[in-house]
Structures are given as C-alpha cells and as structure tokens.
C-alpha cells in the first residue's frame, strides 16, 4: 500500500491518501498479525470513498436505507457509522503493552487528541457519558460551558448511564480492535463532507443522533491541515506511559 512516511515522536506516520476501506482493514490486520515485539508503532491517516461500516456489536436495524452506498461488516468495536471524502481517518497501530495502557485508556486518549485538535481550530469538543466519541454543542460550538451529560466518576455497582445528546452533534466516532495487546482501527473526524448519508443510519446505534463536521460549525479548513494537527495531538496523547 503506497504511502508517505514520516516520524512524529515514537510513531511512524503514513499518509495513505484516499483508499478503499476493505483493503485498508486487511492491511491493518496483516500488520498486526505479523508484527513482533520490536516492530515500531504506526499511525495511518487516510480518507475512504463512501461506505457504511458496522462493528461487532452492530445491529442490522440501524442501517435504515443503504441505497448506493456499500455496507461492510468489520471486526472493530461499536455499531454502524459512515465514512466518506472530507473525513479524516486516523488508525493507530500500537503495542499497548509496550506503551503501558489498555483499551479504555486508549479510547480516552484518542478522544483527548480529537478534543485538542478541535481546540486548535477554535471549537470545544466534549465527551458524553455512556457514548464514546467527541461531540460539539450545535448552538455554541466555541463555548466552554461544561456539559451536564459529561462523564463523571462512576459509583460502584451503578449501571452505565444512558447517553443524552440534547443540543449536541457528533463530530468524531471511535472504533477499536485489540489483538495480542496490539490495537488497530481508530478514530474518524468529520472535516468538510457530505453529511446526508448519516440520515440513512442510526449513527453509532443511536436513533436521531445528529452528526456535524468542522465546516457546518463554521470552520473552513482542509482535510490535510486537520490531519497534520490531529497527528501531532495523537503523538502527544499516545505517548508511552513512563
């Protein structure tokens, strides 16, 4: 798979350009299966042609109308989402044991990198209790007010909270796979894309969840510039635990 390779910190960064989803997934699986204890970690950046993808927990009823967009079942976590031009995919292929953290912390760090990327462009990203990903307040995407539905320290024995998306739009989705302590798949950040395909699905399994991108939130910026900032923030957030 052709790519431009650079290094940021302890990550080899590959810019794959626009590539088909299925061959990219297979390449990630092959890389993970073949890597050894000294294989350097990599970060793959790319865009995909229009495609719906459904994770291991996905339910068929969340695909409302496929139309002319293919749907691919994949081995990542999570439900159904959409990928298309104008969205940057960041796939960290990490040896988590070597870096010193597990999958829940990986998700938290990925969200943190997206939040810091959004802040770089003047937007305030948020986490929502019970729902992985990053969200923006639609009516005030630059405001810093804390969300009432933000994650809080869980009470022992308490059930997981039901996510509340009032006033929010999802700007980044996450889906991870871990094999032999090594991660692949990753995070999708919406930059400037056709958002209408999200109306054909229940995004991430949530009926009525609104989806936004940087463009609809008033930030006119290219995917290449966002990918550059995101890769820097990911390198910082995914640094090995000392």
User: For the segment 160-175, what is each residue's pLDDT rounded down to a tens digit?
Assistant: 778 999 999 999 999 9
pTM of structure: 0.94
Chain segment 99-147, per-residue pLDDT in tens: 999 999 999 999 999 999 999 999 999 999 999 999 999 999 999 999 9
Q: Is residue 139 part of a domain?
A: yes
Chain segment 203-219, per-residue pLDDT in tens: 988 989 999 999 999 99
Q: Is residue 170 part of a domain?
A: yes
Q: What token pair was written down for 222?
A: 């290219």
Cα–Cα dist 179/96, whole Å? 10
Reported as a pLDDT band with limits 50, 70 and 90, residue 157 is low
Active site residue 182: no
Determine the pLDDT at residue 178. Answer: 95
Q: Is residue 156 part of a domain?
A: no
Q: What token pair was written down for 154?
A: 């869980």
Domain of residue 104, residue span: 4-150+166-237
Please compute the mean of the pLDDT values over residues 90-99 and round it to a whole number: 96
As to burial, measured by CB atoms within 10 angstroms (0-12 exposed, 13-18 middle, 19+ buried), residue 226 is buried
Position 47 pLDDT exceeds 90: yes
Rg over alpha carbons for the chain, rounded to the nearest Å, is: 17
Q: Is residue 83 part of a domain?
A: yes
Determine the pLDDT at residue 156. Answer: 67
Q: How many percent of the chain have pLDDT more than 90?
A: 81
Q: Is residue 155 part of a domain?
A: no
Which CATH number characterizes residue 9's domain?
3.30.930.10
Q: Is residue 157 part of a domain?
A: no
Residues found in the chain? 242
Chain segment 23-43, per-residue pLDDT in tens: 999 999 999 999 999 999 999
Please compute the mean of the pLDDT values over residues 43-68 and round it to a whole number: 91
Determine the pLDDT at residue 57. Answer: 80
Q: Is residue 43 part of a domain?
A: yes
Please compute the mean of the pLDDT values over residues 62-87 and round it to a whole number: 93
Q: Is residue 159 part of a domain?
A: no
Of 25, 46, 182, 204, which one is the catalytic site residue?
204
Determine the pLDDT at residue 159. Answer: 73
Position 1 pLDDT exceeds 60: no
| Identity of the highest mean pLDDT range in 56-65, 66-75, 221-230 | 221-230
Cα–Cα dist 147/169, whole Å? 13
């Amino acid at each position: 798979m052709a790519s431009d390779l650079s290094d940021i910190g302890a990550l080899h960064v590959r810019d794959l350009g626009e590539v088909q989803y299925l061959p990219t997934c297979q390449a990630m699986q092959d890389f993970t299966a073949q890597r050894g204890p000294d294989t350097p970690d990599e970060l793959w950046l790319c865009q995909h042609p229009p495609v719906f993808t459904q994770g291991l927990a996905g339910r068929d009823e969340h695909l409302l109308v496929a139309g002319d967009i293919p749907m691919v079942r994949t081995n990542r976590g999570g439900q159904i989402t959409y990928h298309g031009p104008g969205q940057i995919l960041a796939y960290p292929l990490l040896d988590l044991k070597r870096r010193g953290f597990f999958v829940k912390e990986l998700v938290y760090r990925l969200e943190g990198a997206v939040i810091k990327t959004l802040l770089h462009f003047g937007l305030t990203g948020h986490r929502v209790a019970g729902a992985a990903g990053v969200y923006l307040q639609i009516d005030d995407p630059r405001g810093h007010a804390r969300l009432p539905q933000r994650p809080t320290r869980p009470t022992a024995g308490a059930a997981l909270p039901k996510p509340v998306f009032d006033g929010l739009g999802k700007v980044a989705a996450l889906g991870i796979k871990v094999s032999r302590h090594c991660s692949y798949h990753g995070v999708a950040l919406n930059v400037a894309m056709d958002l209408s395909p999200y109306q054909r699905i229940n995004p991430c399994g949530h009926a009525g969840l609104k989806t936004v991108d940087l463009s609809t939130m008033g930030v006119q910026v290219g995917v290449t510039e966002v990918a550059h900032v995101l890769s820097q923030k990911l390198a910082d957030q995914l640094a090995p635990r000392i």
